């Protein structure tokens, strides 16, 4: 049996000669399964096939579980293939997941019968949210007159389309505010954000500044490094934290964690990335970013494979596993 991991890759400007191809990345076969030109971009449906040394495990409810090791091997091969095209053609590339984003390929009747007798494939809907900021320009100008450098850095962060770029510039906002390097920033920033809505913990702040920032910035002596897919889930919470630091830090360019009461958000996402908090009676705008079934890439909402080939087995479970969130309403202060 084989595992087929699928992604949609968008290239801009459109590279010529890449609409149909196949490549060997180590032991993984990567090939195209369709293409289209969308908004002056080339969209390729790429698949990576990996041999499974043993049948996938079954959950207690007889649902097929996708093996993580082989899935990650396939994803690495897909990213490598997309990177090769990007470098060869000097073009921008973005990776997302179609629906379905994974299939199993039975190689004989016995394997197909085993799959058909199961309760379907284990899938999870993953999404994280982001709340609105709700700021008036007049109050913004009055609050930031002594910290225009922080204003510039936050604007730089928001200018990025790429999560890794946002991460770097949010960290620069924090560094500028507290005048210390990211490693030494954990304690003062965690103390500061402890007074903000959102239940920011020290461990979360440490993950931003050490667990994510270092391997997303440096690639010298460490074996592993991080890319956009690794840092994206942290970005909404980092963004609300950066706004809070810029607007509510009492002493700008100081290691002090003292706060002032200049601004409070009307809507924010909880530490689980799924619980939405809103203030009663205030306007709130919510945005949700849908991820694929493994939380790896953004879900391509235009990439639905409605009629998979006969050889692909990608049946949904009888009851899909959902990542559910909740809404918490706060009384206005």
Torsion of CA 233, 236, 239, 241, to 10 degrees: -90
pLDDT of residue 134: 67
Residues 72-95: b if buried by 16+ CB within 10 A, e if exposed: ebbbebbbebbeebbeebebebbb
Mean predicted confidence (pLDDT) in 29-58? 96
Indicate the pTM of the whole model.
0.77
3-state secondary structure of 204: helix
Mean predicted confidence (pLDDT) in 289-294? 84
Question: Is 80 exceeded by the pLDDT of residue 7?
Answer: yes
**CB of 120 within 8 A of CB of 61?**
no
Angle, vertex CA 207, rays to CA 203 and CA 211, nearest 5: 140
- Three-state SS sequence of 264-316: CCCEEECCCCCEEEEECCCCCCCEEEEECCCCCCEEEEEEECCCCCCCCECCC
Mean predicted confidence (pLDDT) in 155-180? 95
| 36 Cα distance to chain centroid | 24
Residues ≥6 apart with Cβ < 8 Å to 147: 177, 246, 249, 252, 253
Question: Is 50 exceeded by the pLDDT of residue 322?
Answer: no
pLDDT of residue 106: 96
Segments making up each domain of the chain, as ranges: 2-124+298-322, 135-264
- Write out the two tokens for 234: 């942290």
Identify the residue with better confidence: 210 or 289: 210
Among 19-28, 48-57, 259-268, name the one with the lowest average pLDDT. 259-268
CA distance 3 to 48: 8
Residues ≥6 apart with Cβ < 8 Å to 275: 269, 325, 326, 327, 328
**CB of 2 within 8 A of CB of 48?**
no
Cis before residue 13, ω within 30 degrees of 0? yes
Burial of 269 (0-12, 13-18, 19+ CB in 10 A): buried
pLDDT of residue 185: 96
| 70 Cα distance to chain centroid | 21
Identify the residue with better confidence: 105 or 263: 105
3-state secondary structure of 58: strand
Question: Is 90 exceeded by the pLDDT of residue 324?
Answer: no
Mean predicted confidence (pLDDT) in 160-184? 94
**CB of 332 within 8 A of CB of 134?**
no
Q: Give me the chain's average pLDDT, please.
A: 89
Cross-strand pairs, 8: 45, 96
Question: Is 70 exceeded by the pLDDT of residue 126?
Answer: no
CA distance 169 to 159: 10
Nearest to 201 by CA among 212, 215, 187, 214: 187
3-state secondary structure of 3: strand
CA distance 255 to 176: 10
Burial of 153 (0-12, 13-18, 19+ CB in 10 A): buried
Share of the chain above pLDDT 90, in %: 65
pLDDT in tens, 206-243: 999 999 999 999 888 778 889 888 998 899 899 999 99
Total count of residues recorded for the chain:
333
pLDDT of residue 266: 79
CA distance 313 to 102: 9
pLDDT in tens, 75-87: 999 999 999 999 9
- Write out the two tokens for 258: 């003292």
pLDDT in tens, 240-272: 999 999 999 999 999 999 999 988 887 878 787
């Amino acid at each position: 049996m084989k595992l087929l991991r699928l992604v949609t890759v968008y290239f801009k400007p459109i590279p010529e000669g890449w609409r149909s191809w196949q490549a060997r990345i180590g032991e993984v076969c990567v090939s195209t399964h369709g293409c289209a030109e969308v908004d002056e971009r080339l969209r390729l449906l790429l698949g990576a096939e990996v041999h499974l040394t043993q049948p996938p495990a079954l959950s207690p409810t007889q649902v097929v579980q996708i093996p993580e090791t082989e899935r990650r091997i396939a994803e690495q091969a897909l990213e490598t293939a997309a990177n090769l095209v990007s470098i060869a053609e000097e073009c921008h590339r973005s990776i997302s997941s179609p629906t379905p984003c994974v299939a199993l390929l039975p190689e004989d009747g016995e394997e197909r019968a085993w799959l058909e007798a199961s309760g379907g494939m284990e899938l999870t809907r993953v999404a994280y949210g982001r709340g609105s900021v709700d700021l008036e320009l007049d109050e913004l100008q009055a609050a930031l007159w002594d910290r225009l450098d922080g204003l510039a850095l936050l604007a730089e962060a928001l200018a990025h389309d790429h999560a890794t770029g946002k991460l770097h510039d949010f960290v620069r906002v924090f560094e500028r505010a507290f005048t210390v390097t990211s490693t030494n920033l954990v304690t003062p920033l965690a103390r500061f954000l402890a007074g903000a809505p959102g239940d920011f913990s020290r461990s979360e702040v440490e993950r931003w500044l050490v667990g994510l920032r270092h391997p997303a910035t440096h690639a010298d002596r460490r074996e592993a490094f991080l890319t956009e897919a690794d840092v994206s889930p942290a970005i909404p919470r980092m963004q609300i934290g950066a706004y809070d630091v810029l607007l509510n830090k009492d002493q700008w360019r100081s290691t002090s964690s003292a706060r002032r009461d200049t601004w409070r958000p009307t809507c924010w996402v909880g530490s689980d990335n799924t619980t939405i908090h809103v203030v009663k009676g205030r306007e709130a705008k919510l945005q949700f970013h849908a991820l694929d079934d493994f939380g790896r890439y953004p879900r391509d909402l235009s990439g639905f494979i409605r009629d998979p080939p006969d050889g692909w087995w990608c049946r949904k479970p009888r009851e899909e596993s959902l990542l559910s969130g909740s809404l918490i309403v706060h009384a206005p202060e």
